Chain A
Amino acid sequence: MADNFDLIVVGGGPGGYVAAIRAAQLKLKVAVVEGKHLGGICLNWGCIPTKALLRSAEIKHLLDHLPDYGFSADNVQVDLKKIVARSRGVANKLAGGIGHLLKKNKVTVYDGYAKLAGGGKLDVTKDGKAVAQLQAPHIILATGARPRQIPGLEVDGTQIISYFEAMVPEVLPKSLLIMGSGAIGIEFASFYNDLGSEVIVVEMLDRILPVEDAEISGLARKSFEKQGIKILTSATVKKAVKGKDSVTVTVEVGGKEQVFTVAQVISAVGIVGNVENLGLEGTKVKVERTHIVVDGFGRTGEPGVYAIGDVAGPPWLAHKASHEGVVCVEAIAGKNPHAFETGNIPGCTYARPQVASVGMTEQKAKEAGYEVKVGRFPFIGNGKAIAMGEPEGLIKTIFDAKTGAMLGAHMIGAEVTELIQGYVIARQLETTEAELMHTVFPHPTISEAMHESVLDAYGQVIHF
């Protein structure tokens, strides 16, 4: 006998568990099937534990600059084990909280892996044993993604590692080569560099953080290089030869080969969707390049089967997954949500300096045919940033010259990941430059730079 539900969510990550709770709020009878850990990668092996690590790195950086602030200290020790233990503790604490939230919302959790069995049925198994058969008219696949492997440079867990291993180092590697300069690669580069490793970043494209605005990418590169990170762009890793305690990596840059010998290689070259063993074969669910094809409400080609989050394609961000989950569930429950739209999803990189953005880059806006007005405001003109000792940073805003719509906003510098939401709200509410100009920003805060950037786009900047 199948256990019956109104909705079954496959995967308990930030897409799945949020979808389940929202569905429970809408009075649906919901189950979540999760085989590993509630909270998914985000909570256990992604967003959250890395933020704990980066907090430690930031404190290390401050300790290195104590005299700047009027302190001196001797014998400052770095205890990597404690740093990692703290990060794991944070992750575990939050993951436990998810279980509690689901229970509170009366969501039934099945421990196992689910496979579509046709006719709205799902077979749940664990370690080869059947756990349950479930049935529901609506099934949301929220199975997430995993690191992409490059042939010949596969992750072995010791010398070539992925974010899993990079998050729990036992000893600090003396040197590191990081393949890929997206958010994950750059965050680890920043973390290990702050802790004292020698770091090389290799990026295939012509700039780091390639999804960000080119100007911000350039500033980020300058800042990282100043901190001692070696950055190679338009570069490809040709081969990696593993020695006893080291890896010798051959990188082709501009037609010339360079050879580096490092303790470890971190592979951060993107992700692939977890689309296997879901029973998608023989259904109308369409998979393209390891991702399930969906519409603005998460619907796949198969009636009653939906997909959200990383498995449903980029941007691969927890908050995107959560929001997709909410839209999908509300549509299932007969509410009338707006179709999911990726234009208002902010992206954040928590390196030092931080990078945050929402909307189109200047280049994208121009390619889309907009006549743009661009505003810039550097942190050097912001009192709070200077007082904090964080005078490096820039806030860039891009407006449609015709309508005043905010097309995009791009930031680099201290605390910008906490600032970006202001522009996200502005975009969601469809404000124009006029409302932003008339908004009073508190003084002294770094957020004033957000105001000034808008003013600058219209030739009214005050402090620069």
Chain B
Amino acid sequence: MSINILMPALSPTMTEGKLSRWLKKEGDEVKSGDVLAEIETDKATMEVEAVEEGFLAKIVVPDGTEGVAVNAVIGVLTEEKGGAVDAAPVAEKPAPAPKAETAPKAAAPEASGGGEIPTPFKEPTSAKTEEHGERIFASPLARRIAKQSGIDLATVKGSGPNGRIVKADLDEAPAHEAPKEEPKAEAPKAAAPATPKAAGPAIAAPHKKIPNSSMRKVIAKRLLESKQTVPHFYLTVNVELDALLELRAKLNATSPKDGPGAFKLSVNDLIIKACGVALRRHPNVNASWTDEAIIQYDDVDISIAVAIPDGLITPIVRKADALGLAAISNTMKDLGARAKAGKLKPDEYQGGGFSISNLGMFGIAEFSAIINPPQAAILAVGAGEKRAVVKNDQLAIATVMSATLSCDHRVVDGALGAQFLATLKGLLEDPLGLML
């Protein structure tokens, strides 16, 4: 008897993912709990663990295959070494071909007159899901017209019930100058599926192509959507850090050398704590816009932008207002390390009511960040640097950091944003308040 190994769903919304690599070879013995393979989703890499014992008899989906549908058979276990593989479910599907570049994009099974289906039984790739794993509601006619004219439905706003995209919505959508697919329904489709190319003029300069990772696609989609649909405005405040730096040095000096209870606070940890306290005092910043109502979050969960090799990810420090500084620091170290290793669990980066992006370590003086939807604000933190300041009509030197708050004006008005920043500045300049 053989047991099928199925593509797991790593999050409730996941519909497909990439099989990065197998850690077992065909013929290897497998014990329950062994890591069989690594799966990559939009944001994270996860391990597929064996539930059953046996021998990995067959690898159905090879390393590096993208767009593997959840619950697709990726491999087969047998109880005995060299055991027979039940033929039925495996049947060498010409499923997703390896490597993105050549993979035919989920071509919706096209009903057509005439044209007979070519020999192999075509496995219908999950036609209803979009590349981003997010379902787009659109009428069948809208889908077909979008496909014919190279319109990306993800960029179209639907006017139908619950935002469903209908034909009329496409009339205004920019049609990409895409190589038109043969419009005739009867055209014998076989051969190379015409991959609709992205828009823009052809790039003539010598170049190489780096295929978009799932993460790049998600970043592109979400930030484009944010910048296009969220009315941003920006407020910048300068914060003197000398007192905070002094406190940090004192606190770090009290840490045990190693072992349990050891900590090393960073300026960022203190900023997370300060934001947590400030958000608790201004709950209307810890909020999201929806058409029906503004959602105000009960908990203060702060997303922290972390740069990782292929992009960035925003692990969440939950209940940041209630956590002590050492706890925040250690949580952040753990999340950061696992983010860089691609080992975050979806619930560790999904959610959050507010974000912090800190580029101070790169010497950036100040910048403005793009809001991380559906959140209503993000704080962009620059480097703390010695600047000339005027104190008591005298020039003086202080360590100053500029922080810029990007606000969704639908939720956070100018005065509210300013009040929040004033609170934050007060907490950072007189940091004893953070110890409470």
CB of A433 within 8 A of CB of B111, answer yes
Indicate if the CB atoms of A430 and B166 lie closer than 8 Å: yes
Which of B16-24, B141-149, B276-284 contacts the other chain?
Answer: B141-149
Task: Return the CB mask of B139-176 against A: 1 if under 8 Å, else 0.
Answer: 11110110010000000000110000011000000000
Give the residue name and chain of the B residue nearest to A404 (CB): B144
Chain B 109-127 interface mask (CB, 8 Å, partner A; 1/0): 1111110000000000000
Residues of B within 8 A of A437 (CB): 111
Task: Tell me if B183 is interfacial: C-beta within 8 Å of chain A.
Answer: yes
Total CB contacts across the A-B interface at under 8 A:
46
| B185 contacts A by Cβ under 8 Å | yes
Q: When the two chains form their complex, are residues B113 and A430 in contact, meaning their CB atoms are under 8 A apart?
A: no
In chain B, what residue has the closest Cβ to A339?
A: B168
Smallest distance from the beta carbon of A196 to chain B beta carbons, Å? 48
| Residue in A404, A429, A458 whose Cβ sees the most chain B Cβ within 10 Å | A404
Give the chain A neighbours of B140 by CB distance below 8 A.
Answer: 429-432, 434-435
**Which interface class (under 10, 10 to 19, 20 to 34, 35 or more) fits B?**
10 to 19
CB atoms of B141 and A432 under 8 A apart: yes
- A458 contacts B141, C-beta separation under 8 Å: no
A404 and B113 in contact, given A430-B141, A434-B140 (Cβ under 8 angstroms)? no
**A459 in contact with B167 (CB, 8 Å):** no
Chain A residues contacting B167 (CB-CB under 8 Å) are 405, 430
Residue from B109, B111, B114 with most neighbouring chain A CB atoms (10 Å) = B111
Q: Is A81 an interface residue (CB 8 A)?
A: no
User: B286: shortest Cβ distance to chain A, in Å?
Assistant: 29
Central interface residue in A401, A402, A430, A460, by most chain B CB within 10 Å: A430
Secondary structure call for the B interface: loop
Chain A count of residues within 8 A CB distance of the other chain: 19
- Chain A residues 410-434 with CB under 8 Å of chain B are 429-434
Q: Are A434 and B111 in contact (CB under 8 A)?
A: yes
- CB nearest neighbor in B for A437: B111
A403 partner residues in chain B, CB cutoff 8 A: 141, 144-145, 148
Bound-state Cα–Cα, A435 to B111, Å: 9
Q: Is the CB–CB distance between A460 and B113 below 8 Å?
A: yes
Query: Please, which residues of chain B bring their CB within 8 A of the CB of A438?
Result: 111
* Chain A residues with CB below 8 A from B145, complex form: 403
CB distance from A268 to the nearest CB of B (A): 36
Q: Closest chain B residue to A400 by CB distance?
A: B141
Known A338-B159, A434-B110; judge A404-B185 contact (CB<8 A): yes
Nearest-neighbor residue (CB-CB) of B138 within chain A: A430
- A429 surroundings in chain B (CB, below 8 A): 139-140
Contact with B along A259-273 (1 / 0, CB 8 A): 000000000000000
User: Nearest Cβ distance between residue B127 and chain A, in whole angstroms?
Assistant: 11
> Which residues from A are CB-within-8-Å of B159?
338
Check if A401 sits within 8 Å of B185, measured CB to CB. yes
**Docked CA distance A402–B141 (Å):** 11
Complex Cα distance A373/B183, Å? 14
How many whole Å from A201's CB to the nearest CB in chain B? 39
Q: When the two chains form the complex, which single residue of A402, A432, A434 contacts B183, counting CB atoms closer than 8 Å?
A: A402
User: How many Å lie between the Cα of A338 and that of B160 in the bound state?
Assistant: 8
Closest residue of A by beta carbon distance from B110: A434
Cα–Cα, bound, A305→B72 (Å): 59
* A431 x B139 contact (CB < 8 A): yes
User: Which of chain B's residues 209-239 have a Cβ closer than 8 Å to chain A?
Assistant: none
Cβ–Cβ < 8 Å partners of A373 in chain B: 113
- Residue ID in chain A nearest B112 by CB atoms: A458
A273 to B180, CA, bound (A): 49
Q: Give the residues in chain A near B183, CB-CB below 8 Å.
A: 402
Q: Given the complex of chains A and B, what is the CA–CA distance between A438 and B145 in angstroms?
A: 19
B110 shortest CB reach to chain A, Å? 7
Quote the shortest CB–CB distance from B264 to chain A (angstroms).
Answer: 54
B139: chain A residues within 8 A (beta carbon): 429-431
Q: Are A405 and B111 in contact (CB under 8 A)?
A: no
**Which chain A residue lies CB-closest to B183?**
A402
Q: Which residue of A lies closest to B145 (CB)?
A: A403
Q: Which residues of B contact A434 (CB under 8 A)?
A: 109-111, 140
Beyond A403-B144, A403-B148, 5 additional pairs, beta carbon < 8 A: A403-B145, A431-B140, A431-B141, A432-B140, A460-B113
- The chain B residues found within 8 Å of chain A, CB to CB, are 109-114, 139-142, 144-145, 148, 159-160, 166-167, 183, 185
Task: Report 17 cross-chain contacts, Cβ distance below 8 Å, ordered by A residue.
Answer: A402-B148, A403-B144, A404-B185, A429-B139, A430-B139, A430-B140, A430-B142, A430-B166, A430-B167, A431-B140, A431-B141, A432-B144, A434-B109, A437-B111, A438-B111, A459-B113, A459-B114
A residues apposed to B, CB below 8 Å: 338, 373, 401-405, 429-435, 437-438, 458-460
Closest 3 CB pairs of A and B: A430-B139, A434-B111, A430-B141
